[in-house]
Chains A and B, each alone.
Chain A
Amino acid sequence: MMNVRWGMSIDLDKCTGCGACQISCMQENNMPIFDEDSDIPKRVTFLDLMKVTNDFEGGKKYGEVQTAFIPKMCMQCSGNDPKNPHPPCVTVCPVVATDVGDDGIVSQIWSRCIGCRYCQAACPYEARVFNWWKPRYEGDFKQGLNSDVSVASRGTVVKCTFCSHIWKRERDRAIAGGETDINKVTYTPACVSACPTGAIVFGDLNNPNSPVYETRLKNDPRAVRMVHSIDQQPENERARRMRIKDYPNPKVYYLSSQKWLRDIISGFQNS
């Protein structure tokens, strides 16, 4: 029985915006290179490094403007009840090309996807991307492909899976080494291992010894979740709303000591 619920915390005070997480993600997940990679709306990338500023409405004076970089990947939403997960994108798929696993990872079967993009419409984080063009792996690039990840094909939706193929590799290795408890298998996604400042931390949200223990993160005044302002509501209001509808309940926490940054990440209530 899988008791682990993988999650992530990203300390934006430590993030320098170097982009190493994005590059390692693209390499690990066989992201193709397109002629139009500057065409951001059609770009295929699992991890987007978003630049934000406290002056997006204009009007700030010189010296007051602050900027930050927000690494944004799939938040592996679970809906209100993590024990009975209901991510916004999973139930809408007409062909069961996407599912949520015991460990809370939202998977995607690339060869099952018909490319209807309904899941893209459902995703509030724009984490799902579509292969608008035929992916090309030219020249030596082919030799660098990761054999654990399917290469993408044109006309399908692809997404971040917290590099769950690495978990599968580690699981097989642990079993071969005689390990019988699946919950003891740990791993590190590509973006986490590439971060030079240790801003991205990964682990089990359920485990009190984990660096991303969810109860501790929820009580951390520096922590917010992306566009999830219900977290800031009083307990009774939160309960009332959650009786009426599901909320994404993402598994990625952003830490920042800057209030303006926490405010704009957490949602629209202060905008």
Chain B
Amino acid sequence: MNTIIEFVKTEWNSFSKKTKIALLVLTALVGLFGIFAIQILFWGLGYTDMNNTFAMGLWIIGDLGFVALGGGAFFTGFLLYIFRVDKLEPLINSTVLIGFMCYLFTFILLVFDIGQPLRAWFGYTYPNWGPGLMPQSMLTEVIWCLTFYFIVLCVELIPVPLKHKILDKIPVLHYTGHYLHRLMWIMAAVGTFLSFFHQGSLGGGMWDVLYAKPGWWRAHHQFFFMAIVAATAGGTCFMIMVPKIAERIMKKEVAPKESFYTLARISGVMFTFYFIFRLYDVYTMAATYVPMADRSFADTLGGYYGWTTLIPELLLCLVPITILNVKKLRENEKTLFFAVICGVTAIVFSKIGVVLNGFSVPNFPWRGFAGYFPTVQEWSIMIGSVATMILIYWGFAAYLPLFPHMKEQESEE
């Protein structure tokens, strides 16, 4: 015990002033998360700004965002292990960790979001399966696919801590890590299959089946597959953005530039696909789907979250399309960083638009657009989740072989 305390003290003293402040702020945010978590779990969702009109809010946006951005893990794994894009190898540990955390916090936010957290297991024991193996409810598919993919991510993550210099000396752990790594292509294939479905279900299918709601309803295959493309585009940007931020903070090269450029190039192509898909989606909504409810698409984009989310989303998409598809711009550190931030923000805007505008659209002609602003409890749990993710990532980056390339460079020096 004393050794641990001594280690913590030594580590703490070795941090710079800025690091200490950052750690304290993050810990305070995690503390706030804990306090308001107790309030929400014990006293209920009355403390949120959600209501019978605005039945879902910030946490569902968080879920959609985390899953879409964490989707970069399945796509990068797919490219590395199935398509053998070996240049992505130095980034894979980081992508698996980000995916793991995104999915973990998706579950955590879902538990807060449901009114009866103690009945969360009902999703497994009373699933709404339809005929055959087709799920009747999109949420049933989401619950099951998320769970299985989370298990896959756990298995994918295990070899990372096992490569720590102390653990690696234990033969059983060494061989476990080694053989798990050898089997990783199977995990990547299973993960791709599972992730493919729940990306489509949570980001798209869940909303497009709501046939009585003109703000959401459209052809199932259209929105379902668009959500998958969104995850591959935004997710790959996120998998570049996070290590790039770590690189700037640690002032060390965490992975070879070539790895980033390869992923950035793929991301640029996916963003081009996404943009075309999204334009087609907007066109069909305006021309076909919304008019079937005798309403106009422009009318459903009023309120606070209609045009204000759609236009920034489309404009932000143009940045990664322009930068990541041009070699010169892609290989410039500053423009690359700007492009991936814009890409991630575009996908976040799309999720905000889906949730907020969908609920905001009035159901009755005599009603105006509904408004929603999260309460301090909702903000604290959301921001606290992100703070916890940052702390976990920081811990992995500092103490575990998250970036093998960085360690290699250090040993060379």
Contact = CB atoms under 8 A, between A and B. Distances in A.
Given A42-B52, A126-B52, A114 B120 contact: yes
A246 B114 CA distance: 28
A79 B334 CA distance: 54
Interface string A1-41: 00000000000000000000000000000000000000001
Interface string B112-125: 01111101101100
B365 A130 contact: no
A244 B127 CA distance: 28
For chain A, the bracket of interface size reads 35 or more
B44 A121 contact: no
Contact of B363 (A53, A117, A227, A241): A227
Nearest to A132: B46
Interface stretch (A91-99, A181-189, A192-200, A204-212): A91-99
Contact of A268 (B51, B55, B143, B295): B295
B212 A248 contact: yes
B212 A124 contact: yes
A155 B143 contact: no
Contacts of B120: 114
Interface stretch (B66-74, B133-141, B168-176): B133-141
A246 B116 contact: no
For chain B, the bracket of interface size reads 35 or more
Contact of A133 (B46, B113, B210): B46
Given A114-B120, A156-B116, A121 B358 contact: yes
Interface in A195-226: 226
Contact of A130 (B115, B122, B292, B366): B115
Nearest to A240: B292
A115 B56 contact: no
The interface centre, meaning the residue of B115, B122, B292 with most chain A CB atoms within 10 A of its CB, is B115
B364 interface: yes
Given A92-B209, A117-B56, A155-B44, A53 B365 contact: no
Contacts of B358: 121
B139 A118 contact: yes
A52 interface: yes
Contacts of B128: 91, 93-96
A122 interface: yes
A7 B47 CA distance: 37
A112 B137 contact: no
B119 A92 contact: no
Interface in A93-134: 93-97, 112-118, 120-126, 128-134
A94 B45 contact: no
A82 interface: no
A132 B45 contact: yes
Contact of B139 (A53, A94, A157, A267): A94
Contacts of B363: 124-126, 227
Nearest to B355: A121
B299 interface: yes
Given A41-B53, A96-B128, A268 B212 contact: no
A114 B52 contact: no
Interface in B94-151: 113-117, 119-120, 122-123, 126-128, 130, 136-140, 142-143
A241 B291 CA distance: 10
Contacts of A147: none
Contact of B123 (A77, A114, A122): A114
Nearest to B126: A95
B293 interface: yes
Contacts of A241: 292
A116 B366 contact: no
Contacts of B410: none
A56 B117 CA distance: 41
A245 B217 contact: yes
A264 B366 contact: yes
B116 A132 contact: no
Contacts of B53: 41, 126
Contacts of A117: 50, 55-56, 115
Nearest to B296: A268
Contacts of B117: 155
The interface centre, meaning the residue of B122, B138, B212, B365 with most chain A CB atoms within 10 A of its CB, is B212
Contact of B137 (A56, A118, A130, A271): A118
Interface in B291-314: 292-295, 299
B163 interface: no
A154 interface: yes
B42 to A, nearest CB: 10
B213 interface: yes
A161 interface: no
A145 B115 CA distance: 24
A50 interface: yes
A150 to B, nearest CB: 14
B359 interface: yes
Nearest to B365: A271
B54 A41 contact: yes
B179 interface: no
B193 interface: no
Given A121-B359, A155-B45, A92 B138 contact: yes
B211 interface: yes
A171 interface: no
A251 interface: no
B255 to A, nearest CB: 39
Contact of B122 (A95, A125, A230): A95
7 contacts: A43-B52, A88-B210, A88-B212, A88-B213, A93-B128, A93-B137, A95-B140
Given A41-B54, A155-B116, 8 more contacts: A91-B136, A96-B128, A115-B116, A129-B52, A132-B50, A134-B44, A155-B115, A241-B292
Q: Nearest 4 pairs between A and B by C-beta?
A: A115-B115, A155-B115, A41-B51, A124-B212
